Amino acid sequence: MWAEILVIVIKVVVVSSVLLTLVPIMVWVERRGAAMIQDRLGPNRVGPFGLLQPIVDAVKLITKEDLTPSGVKGVDRLLYLLAPSIALVVAISVFIAVPFGFDPGLKLFGHAIDGFIVAPNLNLGILYIFAIASLGVYSVVLAGWASNNKYSLMGGIRASAQMVSYELAMTISVVGVLMVSGSFGLQDVVLHQSGTWFGFIPRWNVFPQIIGAITFIVAAFAETNRLPFDLVEAEAELVVGYHTEYSSMRFAAFFMSEYVNMVTASSLIVILFFGGWTLPGFATPAGWLGALVSIGIFAVKVAFFLWFFVWVRWTLPRFRFDQLMALGWKTMIPLAVLNFLLVGAGMALRNL
């Protein structure tokens, strides 16, 4: 009993601290990456290569004055103070059902690890992730509504429409993956993608379901409010949208939640469509070494997609709002439906 709880606590501590440590690293990657793409230097003064810059930023943010705009009273004030915390709690707790490594039956303190995932026996898996992630809309909408600022209000309302529309495309594009793997658990989804077709094509879902993969990645960009879909905080029109009025640590909470969401989105892209920790033609060694190698493979793939987020941000211009909604409703949803229809037709024909 106590060994079991100890194993769980260790997992929770490791996962949450890694997740939160990735935030400053991603901030650094984004700023240096932006500088690289725009042919300038970027932050390079604090520490080697400017690596300590995010820590200095955090110290600055935490010592800043925390302002509440006048006119925000009563319930609005409660919502105003609550919204950043909701954003952060939702962003972190999504990671409960995300597996991040191969477990060949390892034991810790005489108790089985049960896979590298915080909640191993949660049979809801992807449903849990979507259910919790969709709560993230509340933080944006409440922040926009409670700020008593018309830019925040417009940002919050845009956010509700955008996140809600792309959530549809996102969930529908996952249906094809669930059909082939026959389980909600993401560990089963990854296991299903091990091995190769014809000896050289990895059995990753991205190859037969390229449409689903593209719709999922595009929807992931929209769900995390990243460019080219950051209409929510379009600085040319809305100052910075829903967190215009936020300062100090409350602003930092929104900022952190954005980066944690990016990590989760990249992990989901890797797990659902790019084989998770599997690598074709590579047999993971037994024991702890194998587990570490598989976690390493997973981390490299996730790192690629995190870089992809940064890369796209500094490459593409922003959509117009009508274009955004047209893309979401008239292109993404039909494509996502087409994806699982093709998968279903293929599987039905094979079983005839």
Partner 1 sequence: MTNYIPIVIFTLVAVSFPIITLLIAKVIRAGSPDPVKAEPYECGVAAETTAFDTRFSIRYYLIAVLFVVFDVETIFLFPWAVMFDRLALFGFIEMMVFLAILLAGYVYAWRRGALEWA
CA of 157: how far to CAs of 76, 219, 227, 292, in Å?
A: 16, 18, 18, 44
Residue selected from 104, 135, 171, 303 as contacting partner 1 according to rule CB under 8 A? 171
Closest approach of partner 1 to the CB of residue 273, in Å? 15
Residue selected from 80, 102, 116, 151 as contacting partner 1 according to rule CB under 8 A? 151
Distance in angstroms (rounded) separating the CA atoms of residues 274 and 267: 10
Nearer to partner 1, 34 or 96 (CB): 96
Closest approach of partner 1 to the CB of residue 153, in Å? 5
Closest approach of partner 1 to the CB of residue 152, in Å? 7
- Which helix (H) or strand (E) segment holds residue 261: the answer is helix 248-273
Distance in angstroms (rounded) separating the CA atoms of residues 35 and 32: 5
Nearer to partner 1, 70 or 281 (CB): 70
Nearer to partner 1, 148 or 194 (CB): 148
Instruction: Decide if 310 contacts 328 (C-beta within 8 A).
Output: no
The contact pattern for partner 1, residues 240-259, with x = CB under 8 A and - = no contact, is ----xx--xxx-xx------
At 117, is the secondary structure helix, strand, or coil?
coil
Signed CA dihedral, 308, 285, 185, 90: sign only: negative
* Residue 223 touching partner 1 (CB under 8 A): no
> In terms of Cα–Cα distance, which of 33, 96, 22 is closest to 260?
22
Residues 105-144 that bind partner 1 (CB under 8 A): 118-123, 127
Stretch that binds partner 1, among 32-40, 176-184, 216-224, 297-305 (CB under 8 A): 176-184
Nearer to partner 1, 252 or 263 (CB): 252
Residue selected from 51, 56, 135, 157 as contacting partner 1 according to rule CB under 8 A? 157
The contact pattern for partner 1, residues 314-333, with x = CB under 8 A and - = no contact, is -------xx--xx--xx--x
CA of 302: how far to CAs of 21, 120, 154, 191, 322, in Å?
A: 15, 21, 33, 17, 32
User: How many Cβ atoms from other residues are within 10 Å of residue 214's Cβ?
Assistant: 17
